Structure 1
Amino acid sequence: MSRRRLVAGAAVAPLAGGMVALGGALPARAQGTPTTGVNGDQGYEPAGSFDIVAEFYGPGPSGIVVAENGRIFVGFPRHAINHKGATLGELVNGRVVPWPSAALSLPSSAAPADRLMSIHGMTMDTQGRLWAIDDGKLAGLPLQPGATKIVCFDIAANRLLHSIILKSPTLLPDSHMNDLRVDLTHGQAGTVYVSDSSFGHSPALVVVDVASGKQRRVLATHPSTQAEAGFMAVVEGVPLVYDPAQKPRFVVGGVDGVTLSASSDRLYYAPLTSRRLYSLPTALLSDFSVSDADLAKAVRDEGEKGTADGLATDAQGRIYTTNFEHDCILRRNTDGSFDLMVHDPRILSPDGIFCTRTHVYCTLGQWNRLASFNNGQDKRRPPYHLIRFPIEPVPTYSAEPT
């Protein structure tokens, strides 16, 4: 097979050959699915089968959406590094093409409300439309009026359909609107649920009615949305502890990953700096007449899920969780049990995650290696990867007689 290196705004030659190793050490596709634990390796070897779909140089990738016809869209946020490339791009013939247009996706003098500033979380609704959260944040600069918004696109027409500006008191000066899911079973034109993980210490869930633009923050003081003080994670072999009073040494935050159940009757969500998973019935969450106190009573603690950033749900209702502590992606089955889907040393800071009917896609941004977490030294090592793995096990065959 061949694969292409992708650089924002530039075409490059494809890399010929088959499986390619990172640093010449490991195959791009783990061979087989070795058993971890006492009856196999001790969790150090690669496990599961995955493909490297694309390599990126330049801005790191975050959000990911794959259309039914195979078109791939990737978000490149600017809140960590204010880069000059596309913040939303389509992968086309070895290029990151600014999407839906260069005027919207590239930096310009247009007002923040009239262009895309920093695309982060992305999703697709049940009608096949692409939705994204523009966190509005440019590194080193305060949020500007009109910058933070929810946007919706017609993929076939490459056209902007909705742009809903988030405003105070829904939007705070330290807000980090991180990820979103769209529920078309509630509201005249649907309801959007956004996670504000916060650049400070003020996380919350945000609920937006698409038809009216009505919006509100909920559960802003509830434990289910908060980063846990004293939380400890082992990241690339280093034990790191979150202390709200100190500058963070790894990626931390409140409510981050969000995903809907297959029928959209529940929203699942989790703080980044926590190992727990929570859920709420969308019938209550979408109802603006329901008080915050009543929402708090309806929160269900779903148990532990590991150190997850992104969450995604497949058609069978199983939830895929990224895990930056163990360089892996897990699947939470409907009975609450977990499967290890892929594990590999290259799965660094797995972030945006998206399910198609057959595969799970995930971006690897190496966010824990940013200079802000490493005493001013940028330790990221491009390329950054977009990977995918099959939802169902890869079939195995043998020509030997049985």
Structure 2
Amino acid sequence: MTYGKVGQHKARSMQGNKHSAKPCGVGRTFLNRRAALLGVAVTPLVASTLAGAKAYAAAPAIKALPQTTGVNGDQGYAPAGSFEVVAEFYGPGPSGVVVSENGRIFVGFPRHAINHKGATLGELVNGRVVPWPSAALSMPSNAAPADRFMSIHGMTLDTQGRLWAIDDGKLAGQPFAPGAAKILCLDVATGKIVYSIVLKSPALLPDSHMNDLRVDLTHGSKGTVYVSDSSFGHSPALVVVDVATGQQRRVLATHPSIQAEEGFMVVVEGVPLVYHAQQKPHFVVGGVDGVTLSPNSDRLYYAALTSRKLYSLPTALLANFNVSDAELAAAVQYEGEKGTADGLATDKQGRIYTTNFEHDCILRRNTDGTFELMVHDPRILSPDGIFCTPTHVYCTLGQWNRLASFNNGQDKRHPPYHLISFPIEPVAAYNAEGGVNG
């Protein structure tokens, strides 16, 4: 069984595209450079409609412009960096993303904003979103909430290559059902569920929004999971779960590092927006959201969605259920500002990649605290789930700020939604007269 269509794209630089504010045309046929990048073959998607094919044929040629964003360029309006559109999505918007060691791509399509009828977890295969690990688990059904996937949001791989996902358990317009919110661990090769840990009160609240997760296999006999509950209300917290026992607890629920900041102001698509807790939000807001581990899992980095600040904690304390909230609070380390980040991800060198929904970009925080602009483009709208392979960074673009709930009931999203990737290290520049870099 398959669900949805995914436009697989040939390799092409997105740097300096003068049409960068416009999404790609419907039904375009592209070849994916998956074989070169990931070592696996991907069949191109055939144009689905004659109209789409004609639209593609009639599209104006894309003319590359010199990069101007930067120290000596303009004020940040021009595209910068090179990225590839890996896939286009119609229907549900994408959120979490994971790329396995052998190049398989998995994407989550949560149902908390729109209770869609498609797969909530899928693998990208030959231009299709295939429900994974099965249609019975990923598609809507009458099975008990504990026995199926309700709303897959954040995703990650552990150091053993297993896929972990947070099922936030929320269907738009419906209250939580018992067993709906859970932590899932799946074997990538077989699709077998290794662990399914149902989240319960008091770790789970009626307004919880279990958003993202990271898995630490250095603490606990079978590992420890750290979940960010950004909250659909005003009750965010970090949730710590011991895999072996299923023991779970909320921590730092009242700590400032976890909370959305009152009066926080952001400019999204040119519109200045201010967060006030007692007012209906007009943009995506929440408490602790992005989480990521250091390469050796000794620190957890985290940030609230409605904040510009980055914090960290030693996992030796965080994973210890005997450590009090006061002791954890005393160990919180302020790491400086990181911009308006949603998702966070760490590469093997310990550099942290932060999505930025205010400037339509993705930044990299180096280990010395300095930042680099990796990619910037008007199409990088609501960058959300982010994942690092040894060579590339992948990120989903869900257009979440355009949801009807933030725009007086008007859905302003314009499919397709995108999955993009860009190289961690700069692409070598060649010159026939002088070799690499002249």
TM-score relative to the length of structure 2: 0.87
What SS class does the counterpart of residue 124 from structure 2 fall into? strand
One-letter amino acid matched to 2:258: T
1:64 alignment partner in structure 2: 97
Retained in 2: the 8 A contact 1:205–1:218? yes
Using a 3 Å threshold, how does the CA distance of structure 1 residues 17 and 284 change in structure 2: closer, same or farther?
closer
CA distance in 2, matches of 1:68, 1:17: 20
Correspondence for 1:9: 3
Distance 2:310 2:168 in 1: 23
Alignment of 1:214-363 (within 5 A): 214-363=247-396
In the alignment, the residues of structure 1 paired with residue 11 and residue 314 of structure 2 have an alpha-carbon distance, to the nearest angstrom, of 49
The alpha-carbon deviation at position 30 of structure 1 amounts to: 7.3
Specify whether residues 26 and 197 from structure 1 end up closer, same or farther in structure 2 by C-alpha distance, changes over 3 A only. Answer: farther
Tell me, yes or no, if the aligned pair for 2:119 and 2:131 is still in contact at 8 Å.
yes
Shift in alpha-carbon separation, 1:328–1:19, aligned structure 2, 3 A: closer
2:385–2:395 contact (8 Å) kept in structure 1: yes
Aligned to 2:128: 95
**287 and 239 in structure 1: CA distance in 2 versus 1, 3 angstrom threshold:** same
AA paired with 1:286?
A: A
1:158 Cα shift?
A: 1.3
In 2 relative to 1, CA 12–177 (structure 1 residues): closer, same or farther, beyond 3 Å?
A: closer
Separation of aligned partners in 1, 2:235 and 2:309: 18
State the one-letter code of the partner of 1:103: A
Letter of the 2:430 partner, please give it.
Answer: Y
1:394 aligns with 2:427: yes
> For each residue in 1:364-387, what CA deviation from the matched residue of structure 2 results, as whole angstroms up to 9, or x when unmatched?
000000000000000000000000
Is 2:205 aligned against 1:172? yes
Q: Which runs of 5+ in 2 are unaligned?
A: 25-58
Give the C-alpha shift of residue 159 in structure 1: 1.0
1:347 deviates by 0.2
User: Does 2:103 match 1:74?
Assistant: no
Task: Give distance in 2, aligned partners of 1:146 and 1:26.
Answer: 51
| 1:398 Cα deviation after fit | 1.5
1:8 touches 1:58 (CA, 8 Å); kept in 2?
Answer: no
SS in 2 for 1:81: coil
**Equivalent in the alignment of 1:4:** none
1:67 deviation in Å?
0.5
Tell me, in whole angstroms, the C-alpha distance in 2 between the residues paired with 1:225 and 1:270: 7
Equivalent residue, structure 2, for 1:162:
195
Say which of 52, 55, 70 aligns to 1:36.
70
Partners of 1:336 and 1:273 in 2: CA distance: 21
Q: 1:206 to 1:12 in 2, by over 3 A?
A: closer
Unaligned runs of 5+ in 1: 1-6
User: Size of the alignment, in residue pairs?
Assistant: 395
Shift of 1:266: 0.1
**Secondary structure class of the residue paired with 2:185:** strand
How many angstroms apart in 1 are the aligned matches of 2:283 and 2:344? Answer: 19
Tell me the distance in 1 between the aligned counterparts of 2:315 and 2:66.
Answer: 39
Distance 1:202 1:13 in 2: 39
Q: CA RMSD in A?
A: 2.1
User: What TM-score do you get using the length of structure 1 for normalisation?
Assistant: 0.94
Contact conserved, 1:8 with 1:59, CA < 8 A, in 2? no
Output the CA distance in 2 between the equivalents of 1:216 and 1:16.
Answer: 46
Identity of aligned residues (%): 79
How far did 1:36 drift? Answer: 1.2
CA shift for structure 1 position 13: 7.9
Paired amino acid for 1:9: Y
> Residues 61-210 of structure 1: matches in 2 within 5 Å?
61-210=94-243
Residue identity in the other structure for 1:322:
T
Q: Is the 8 A contact 2:120 2:152 kept in 1?
A: yes
Letter in structure 2 aligned against 1:395: A
Q: Deviation of residue 15 (structure 1)?
A: 7.4
Provide the rounded CA distance (Å) in 2 between the counterparts of 1:12 and 1:355.
21
Work out the CA distance in 2 between the residues paired with 1:265 and 1:27: 49
1:3 aligned residue: none
Task: Give distance in 2, aligned partners of 1:278 and 1:27.
Answer: 45
Secondary structure in 1 matching 2:431: coil
SS in 1 for 2:285: coil
